[in-house]
């Protein structure tokens, strides 16, 4: 039997969510036509009235994976018309991959939802993920080893920042699917059952079937794991704020005092800091961090490489910098944007192709850019910086006006968090973004009390 606190009904969850919103707010509800998203839309519509400072929109993403998907999208449009809610349909066009279709569909869905959110200037995208989805996600992460150190066991966050620009909120994470369907039946609304939800080819479907037989998901344990993850991240944020500096966006330094704090928080901070400096989409794994922590526990000076990052311990603290191997050149045509080495997003605003590669190390330049840093480390840091050149003949006047550089927009990338930033890590990433000189994040549009749930 599923254990935990009393689970809120759809109406209770919607009412609490709306009460906690910072107003004014414009909400874009993602509605597939299934029970979860339809229940969310209808429940929210009950508590949003004229003059409330809240506006409701809906969007359906037609993944074009089944012949009936277009008709299902139009059925959602008809429901929204009856409810008086503006509705948008976006279709995933183009050839679909033969493998990894679930992940590709998810990426396409979020990309298209963001386009609609931009169009209506939505404060947040709202999805109908449920307690059942939470249980399945945790089970899948645990099976893949992502539950190590309680990170994966925290499950999905109630809020996620997409592309560093729009918040995605999940009001139904503590609500059961069976209660949502009971609510829809009482309200006289049906829903669409996607046959792919019964196809055992998909991992989530297999996990769902197993959980239905076991019925042992512990919601209280998940809440505790989420609280632990947030606490570790918040303490890591304090460590970064008080003891870490980052120079030129490529060289991090952790002061000796920062090596003496709580081991779990330090481990958390270093694993994510290394992922950002190394341009990796995920934090360092447990085995890599075990090696790093054993190296640091020895107290001896030296170097170790993990996740494309060199950890160099000196008397004045710990230095972290991208190793110089495997930094490949990247060609960007005029008008295009691309990510170089997982660490920088570069837009070519000029009329000619540009090439981005590592900066050729020069000792004098290195010591100028990184004063007070040991020369060998300064040289590595320079070689991790991007160098941009034009793939065309440039006139003397252009070179003098530095147009090659000025027509390129270079922004740092927070590799593990650029696409999805879970609420658990928000304070830590804000501290890191300040050190790297990133643009600010939009404010989480809910009251502080909601963050603790």
CATH 3.40.50.620 location in the chain: 10-217
CA distances in angstroms from 305 to 259, 276, 318, listed in the order given: 18, 15, 13
- pLDDT tens, position by position, 404-441: 555 789 999 999 999 999 999 999 999 999 999 988 88
Sheet of 330-332, strand order? 330-332, 354-358, 386-390
234: tokens are 């918040």
Q: Which residues contact 418 (CB under 8 A, 6 or more apart)?
A: 163, 164, 345
For residue range 69-128, list pLDDT tens digits in order. 999 999 999 999 999 999 999 999 988 898 888 889 999 999 999 999 999 999 999 999
Q: Beta-strand (E) ranges in 381-433?
A: 386-390, 408-412, 420-422
Residue pLDDT, tens place only, 3-48: 445 799 999 999 999 999 999 999 999 999 999 999 999 999 999 9
For residue 279, give the 3-state DSSP assignment. Answer: coil
Q: What is the CA radius of gyration of the chain?
A: 24
Q: Give the model confidence (pLDDT) of 293-345 as tens digits.
A: 999 999 999 999 999 999 999 999 999 999 999 999 999 999 999 999 999 99
**pTM of the predicted model, to two decimals?**
0.89
Query: pLDDT digit string (tens) for 199-243?
Result: 666 666 676 666 666 666 788 888 888 998 999 999 999 999 999
Listed in order, strand segments (DSSP E) in 283-390 are 302-306, 309-314, 317-322, 330-332, 337-340, 344-348, 354-358, 386-390
Considering the segment(s) 10-217 as one domain, its CATH architecture is 3-Layer(aba) Sandwich (3.40)
DSSP states of 115-134 as a string?
HHHHHHT-SEEE----HHHH
3-state SS assignment for residue 345:
strand
């Amino acid at each position: 039997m599923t254990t935990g606190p009393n689970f809120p009904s759809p109406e209770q969850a919607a009412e609490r969510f709306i009460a906690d919103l910072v107003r004014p707010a414009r909400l874009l509800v993602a509605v597939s036509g299934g029970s979860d998203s339809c229940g969310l839309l209808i429940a929210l519509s009950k508590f949003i009235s004229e003059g409330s400072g809240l506006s409701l929109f809906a969007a359906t993403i037609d993944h074009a994976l089944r012949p009936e998907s277009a008709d299902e999208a139009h059925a959602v449009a008809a429901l929204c018309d009856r409810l008086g809610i503006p509705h948008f349909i976006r279709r995933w066009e183009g050839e679909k991959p033969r493998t990894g279709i679930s992940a590709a569909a998810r990426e396409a869905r979020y990309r298209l939802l963001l386009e609609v959110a931009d169009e209506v200037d939505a404060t947040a995208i709202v999805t109908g993920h449920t307690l059942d989805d939470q249980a399945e996600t945790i089970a899948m992460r645990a099976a893949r080893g992502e539950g190590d150190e309680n990170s994966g066991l925290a499950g999905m966050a109630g809020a996620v920042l997409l592309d560093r620009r729009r918040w995605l909120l999940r009001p139904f994470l503590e609500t059961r699917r069976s209660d949502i369907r009971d609510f829809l039946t009482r309200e006289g609304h049906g829903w669409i059952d996607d046959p792919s939800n019964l196809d055992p080819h998909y991992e989530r479907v297999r996990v769902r079937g197993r959980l239905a037989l076991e019925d042992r998901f512990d919601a209280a344990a998940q809440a505790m794991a989420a609280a632990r993850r947030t606490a570790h991240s918040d303490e890591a944020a304090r460590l970064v704020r008080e003891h870490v500096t980052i120079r030129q966006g490529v060289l991090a330094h952790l002061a000796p005092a920062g090596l003496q704090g709580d081991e779990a928080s330090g481990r958390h901070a270093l694993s994510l800091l290394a992922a950002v400096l190394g341009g990796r989409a995920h934090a360092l794994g447990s085995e890599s961090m075990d090696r790093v922590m054993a190296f640091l526990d020895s107290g001896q000076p030296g170097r170790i490489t993990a996740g494309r990052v060199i950890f160099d311990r000196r008397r004045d603290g710990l230095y972290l910098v991208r190793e110089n191997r495997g930094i490949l050149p990247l060609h960007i045509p005029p008008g295009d944007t691309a990510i170089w080495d997982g660490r920088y997003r570069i837009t070519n605003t000029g009329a000619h192709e540009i090439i981005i590669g590592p900066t050729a190390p020069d000792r004098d330049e290195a010591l100028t850019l990184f004063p007070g840093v040991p020369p060998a480390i300064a040289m590595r840091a320079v070689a991790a910086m991007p160098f941009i050149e034009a793939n065309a003949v440039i006139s003397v006047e252009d070179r003098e006006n530095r147009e090659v550089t000025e027509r390129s927009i270079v922004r740092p990338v927070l590799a593990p968090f650029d696409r999805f930033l879970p609420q658990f890590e928000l304070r830590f990433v804000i501290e890191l973004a300040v050190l790297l000189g990133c643009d600010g994040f939009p404010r989480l549009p809910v009251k502080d009390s909601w963050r603790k749930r």
